[in-house]
Chain A
Amino acid sequence: MSMLTDPDMEEIVLGFTEEASALYEQLIEILEDYEDEPGQKKLEEFGQVIDRVMGAAKSIEAERTGNFCELGKTISYKASQSMDNELLNIVVAVLFDTVEILQKINKTIINQKSEDLPDINLDRFSTRLRWLSDKFQNIERSSVAIATPDAGQADQKSIDELLQSLGL
């Protein structure tokens, strides 16, 4: 049974949707601010806020929400290091769409305990996000991580191996 449909998790899932809803509003405000006055810090702030939703979403098995947040985070962090204004305009438009879709998914979690949106081709949208992320291939930093050469993403197993090698 998915956590989204688990009666024991109902309160936590509902709490998540309320929290996520407030953060989505915050994301929209950040993007609107960016449109009024573009600035790299705003895109980085977008990445930090969407990252907060991502961790909680994945923890309650809202996989689709978590994956869209992850892509949104990657794109916004990478975009925050880009000077390509034309591409940045596309980024902001796509991030607006991302938040709109996340808001719709949030409503279906509340009403139907699922993340399905039959009227929207989410796989196609996901492909669009990945395409956009690939446009920043030459930019390495995709998160709030402390930048170091050769640093990369790792799963829990790799992190455990690394910790072990560090004596923990």
Chain B
Amino acid sequence: MAINSYSNLSNFGYNSKKELGVVTMAFNPKQKILIIDDMSTMRKIIKNMLGKMGCDQLDEAEDGIPAWDMIQKAHEAGMPYEFIVSDWNMPGMTGLDLLKKIREDERFKTLPFLMITAEAEQSNVIVAVKAGVSNFIVKPFSIVTLKEKIDKIFP
């Protein structure tokens, strides 16, 4: 299917950017960020890239199950995560399932969520957008691409 055929948002029941998980606050490198990937190599690469952007409050989780626990506990402790960077394909709880869980919870409705995947499938993108993803990045990616995505999420 041609990309342009997705241009009519009403086909997907969207009314505003807010519903799509888009946030309007500015990115602050001192924000608390949670990186979720089952491959520690990927977590290290992402940490390395975010570190070069000045980010130093970086936590890690291996999949959606511990991540969901960490997100809730951090919120309850008054030090909530302000940005989630998650892989899609993970054992345990996938990135998509985690995203859905987050968006179902009133506390995290607008929590910025960047989905990372090796699956450059249009169908995946549509499903993730419907679930409220803030943006989508395809592996492999450079620090420039990551920065561009962050700038789009935090304009």
A binding-site residues for B, Cβ under 8 Å: 11-12, 15-16, 19, 48, 51-56, 58-61, 66, 143-156, 158-159, 161-163, 165-168
Which residues of chain B from 110 to 125 have any CB-CB distance to chain A below 8 Å in the complex? Answer: 117-125
Interface flags, B1-30, vs A, CB<8A=1, else 0: 101101101001010010010100000000
B binding-site residues for A, Cβ under 8 Å: 1, 3-4, 6-7, 9, 12, 14, 17, 20, 22, 38-42, 44-45, 48, 87-89, 91, 117-127, 129, 133-141, 145, 152
A167 cross-chain contacts in B, Cβ below 8 A: 9, 14, 17, 20, 22
Report whether B41 and A60 are in contact in the complex, using a CB–CB cutoff of 8 Å: yes
A161 cross-chain contacts in B, Cβ below 8 A: 3
Report whether A168 and B9 are in contact in the complex, using a CB–CB cutoff of 8 Å: no
| Among B9, B20, B121, residue most surrounded by chain A Cβ atoms (within 10 Å) | B121
Which secondary structure dominates where chain A touches chain B? helix
| Among A12, A51, A60, A167, residue most surrounded by chain B Cβ atoms (within 10 Å) | A167
Q: Of B14, B42, B123, which one neighbours A145 at CB under 8 angstroms?
A: B123
A143 cross-chain contacts in B, Cβ below 8 A: 119, 121
Q: Of B14, B20, B119, B139, which one neighbours A58 at CB under 8 angstroms?
A: B139
Report whether B14 and A156 are in contact in the complex, using a CB–CB cutoff of 8 Å: no
Report whether A15 and B3 are in contact in the complex, using a CB–CB cutoff of 8 Å: no
Report whether A153 and B120 are in contact in the complex, using a CB–CB cutoff of 8 Å: yes
Report whether B139 and A168 are in contact in the complex, using a CB–CB cutoff of 8 Å: no
Report whether A156 and B141 are in contact in the complex, using a CB–CB cutoff of 8 Å: yes
A147 cross-chain contacts in B, Cβ below 8 A: 123
In the complex, which residue of chain B has the Cβ closest to the Cβ of A150?
A: B1
B44 cross-chain contacts in A, Cβ below 8 A: 11-12, 15
Q: Given contacts A60-B41, A166-B14, is CB(A159)–CB(B118) below 8 Å?
A: no
Q: Of B20, B118, B121, B124, which one neighbours A55 at CB under 8 angstroms?
A: B118
Report whether B41 and A165 are in contact in the complex, using a CB–CB cutoff of 8 Å: no
B134 cross-chain contacts in A, Cβ below 8 A: 168
Report whether B89 and A52 are in contact in the complex, using a CB–CB cutoff of 8 Å: yes
A-B residue pairs in contact (CB < 8 Å), sample of 23:
A12-B45, A19-B41, A52-B89, A55-B89, A56-B41, A56-B45, A59-B41, A60-B41, A143-B121, A144-B119, A145-B121, A145-B123, A149-B1, A154-B3, A156-B120, A159-B138, A161-B3, A162-B126, A163-B129, A165-B7, A166-B6, A168-B133, A168-B135
Report whether B122 and A154 are in contact in the complex, using a CB–CB cutoff of 8 Å: yes
- Give B122 Cβ to nearest chain A Cβ, in Å: 5
- Give B8 Cβ to nearest chain A Cβ, in Å: 9
The complex places the Cα of A60 from the Cα of B140 at a distance, in Å, of 8
